[in-house]
Amino acid sequence: MRLPAEIEQRILELISMPDLNWKSARVHNKKLNRIRNQMYKLTDDFAQAIPSADKYSDAYFAYNFPMNFVKAMVLAKEVNCLYPQLFNNKDTIRILDIGCGEGAGMFGLYYGLKNSKKFVLTGIDTSTQMLKKCKNMTHSLKNKDACIRVKLRRQDVSHGLLKKKINKYNIVIFANVLAEIFTGDNIPVKFIERILKSTDDDGVIIIIEPAAKNLSRRLMDLRNEIIQKHKGYILLPCLHKNECPLYEIRKQKEWCHQSISWHSPVYMKIINQGLNREIDYLKFSYLVISKKDHRKRYDGCYSVISPLFREKGRKRCFLCTPAGRIELVRLNKLKTQANREFDRISKGDIISFENLVQTIPHYWRIAENTKVKITYRKNN
Ligand SMILES: C[S@@+](CC[C@H](N)C(=O)[O-])C[C@H]1O[C@@H](n2cnc3c(N)ncnc32)[C@H](O)[C@@H]1O
């Protein structure tokens, strides 16, 4: 997974280093150090829950925008692949990005879904500065693709009330914004209920949050409340509606989050010199909520919720199942043609089996005749 080349080039133009590469990096040292300093401040503020994306907007744009863009792109592909009925019969896809910032959410979704369809993207934000940056980003997209319309407006959406529209939204995305809108312990389910009223019958809300434990667990609470109060349907990341297996495990030390490897652009690697952040993985938590029950029966399919651990004599990982968290193990000596796909799995994949050995609860074994199939790869 990588950032589209034209988006990377546009970012470099907008941070005034269009020719940045390993050879030219020295020439840009002053600007690079300014961005690195802003990165420190952004991180400090994030740790204290102080919103400062617009204050340190160059650093946010150079560093967070591409990652948030690709996260949205990954999720658009996943939703489209696992729930194609949501968009198949639509000529125009209407996307609302609340707290759009520079538009990472809506532009990422657009790139993930882009085909012969038309797109109307609406971005809402309280920050004039961020909307201005979003507008700059928009120009390059509109020049390339006549099938896209972008509308931007300044509005505070903390109440969840949106103008009534004849053409409702197919997707409403909240990318890294709920932590700013709701600073308390929970995201009110009433807010989600209100937003769902602005989506069409096949509409979905996509929420992306940073992978931090408190924010991810808050999202897990929201998931549970939506299911318990019948306020919508969870399409992803959960393939079942039973209690989240990670919710109570290990005295609440676990939280459901994604960690997907990607090819970070060279310019990010240059900025990262001295910062040494882990930029090769996209970490986030997410929920896809639908208004109507579009859940498909993914019986016999399970999400991989850990990396594949390669240990002496065996490989293992953990699965999310309706019966809880399951440890799945294959001894190296039992590797066969039928189960060799197991070696390729990564966190976030959806897998299925034939002839699995399930003699002990919460501990499943792959035998020589077990057939392993990767039904969906998040990082494809
Ligand atoms: C961390 S940035 C995320 C930007 C973008 N969605 C992304 O993922 O890169 C949060 C954005 O939400 C905006 N925001 C915060 N509270 C808001 C509110 N109540 N209504 C609309 N936008 C809001 C901020 O101005 C900021 O641009």
Half-sphere exposure in the Cβ direction for 358 (13 Å, CA) = 10
What pLDDT was estimated at residue 356?
93
Confidence of residue 161 (pLDDT cuts 50, 70, 90): confident
Q: Work out the average pLDDT over 236-263.
A: 87
**Cβ proximity of 43 and 67 under 8 Å:** no
Q: Given ligand 1 and candidates 177, 195, 207, 285, which is best to mutate, with the most ligand atoms within 8 Å of its CB?
A: 177
Taking all residues of the chain, what is their mean pLDDT, rounded to a whole number?
92
Atom of ligand 1 nearest to the CA of 72: 8
pLDDT digits (tens, 9 = 90+) for 104-114: 999 999 999 98
Radius of gyration of the chain (CA): 21
pLDDT digits (tens, 9 = 90+) for 165-196: 778 999 999 999 999 999 988 999 999 999 99
**Cβ proximity of 256 and 285 under 8 Å:** yes
Determine the Cα–Cα distance for residues 230 and 228; give it in Å rounded to an integer: 6
Q: Work out the average pLDDT over 52-71.
A: 93
Give 349 Cα–ligand 1 centroid separation in angstroms: 29
**Cβ proximity of 1 and 260 under 8 Å:** yes
What pLDDT was estimated at residue 343?
96
Q: Where are the domains of the chain?
A: 5-290, 301-376
What pLDDT was estimated at residue 237?
95
Give 99 Cα–ligand 1 centroid separation in angstroms: 3
What pLDDT was estimated at residue 253?
80
Give 41 Cα–ligand 1 centroid separation in angstroms: 18
Confidence of residue 360 (pLDDT cuts 50, 70, 90): confident
CB of residue 130 inside a 6 A radius of ligand 1: yes
CB of residue 264 inside a 6 A radius of ligand 1: no
| SS3 letters across the chain | CECCHHHHHHHHHHCCCCCCCCCCHHHHHHHHHHHHHHHHHHHHHHHCCCCCCCCCHHHHHHHHHHHHHHHHHHHHHHHHHHCHHHCCCCCEEEEEEECCCCCHHHHHHHHHHCCCCEEEEEEEECCHHHHHHHHHHHHHHHHHCCCEEEEEEECCCCCCCCCCCCCCEEEEEEECCHHHHCCCCCCCHHHHHHHHCCEEEEEEEEEEECCCHHHHHHHHHHHHHHHHCCCCEEEECCCCCCCCCCCCHHHHCCCCCEEEECECCHHHHHHCCCCCCCCCEEEEEEEEEECCCCCCCCCCEEEECCCCEEECCEEEEEEEECCEEEEEEEEHHHCCCCCHHHHHCCCCCEEEEECCEEEECCEEECCCCCEEEEEECCCC
CB of residue 104 inside a 6 A radius of ligand 1: yes
pLDDT at 163 over 90: no
Give 177 Cα–ligand 1 centroid separation in angstroms: 5
CB of residue 180 inside a 6 A radius of ligand 1: yes
CB of residue 78 inside a 6 A radius of ligand 1: no
pLDDT at 297 over 80: no
What pLDDT was estimated at residue 178?
96
What pLDDT was estimated at residue 270?
96
Q: What kind of architecture, by CATH, is found in domain 301-376?
A: Beta Barrel (2.40)
Least confident of 63-67, 142-146, 328-332: 142-146
What pLDDT was estimated at residue 199?
95
Confidence of residue 353 (pLDDT cuts 50, 70, 90): very high
Q: Given ligand 1 and candidates 58, 70, 126, which is best to mutate, with the most ligand atoms within 8 Å of its CB?
A: 126
CB of residue 380 inside a 6 A radius of ligand 1: no
CB of residue 127 inside a 6 A radius of ligand 1: yes
pLDDT at 40 over 80: yes
Residue whose CA is at the smallest distance from ligand 1 atom 23 = 99
**In the chain, % of residues over pLDDT 90:** 78
What pLDDT was estimated at residue 250?
72
**Cβ proximity of 291 and 198 under 8 Å:** no
Could you tell me which CATH number the domain at 5-290 has? 3.40.50.150
**Cβ proximity of 152 and 134 under 8 Å:** yes
Give 101 Cα–ligand 1 centroid separation in angstroms: 5
Confidence of residue 294 (pLDDT cuts 50, 70, 90): confident
Residue whose CA is at the smallest distance from ligand 1 atom 4 = 101
Q: Work out the average pLDDT over 55-72.
A: 94
Highest-scoring range by mean pLDDT, 105-119, 126-140, 198-212, 294-308: 198-212
What pLDDT was estimated at residue 74?
96
CB of residue 43 inside a 6 A radius of ligand 1: no
CB of residue 237 inside a 6 A radius of ligand 1: no
Determine the Cα–Cα distance for residues 223 and 288; give it in Å rounded to an integer: 10
- The pTM for the full model equals 0.94
What pLDDT was estimated at residue 139?
81
Query: How many Å separate Cα 161 from the centre of its chain?
Result: 24
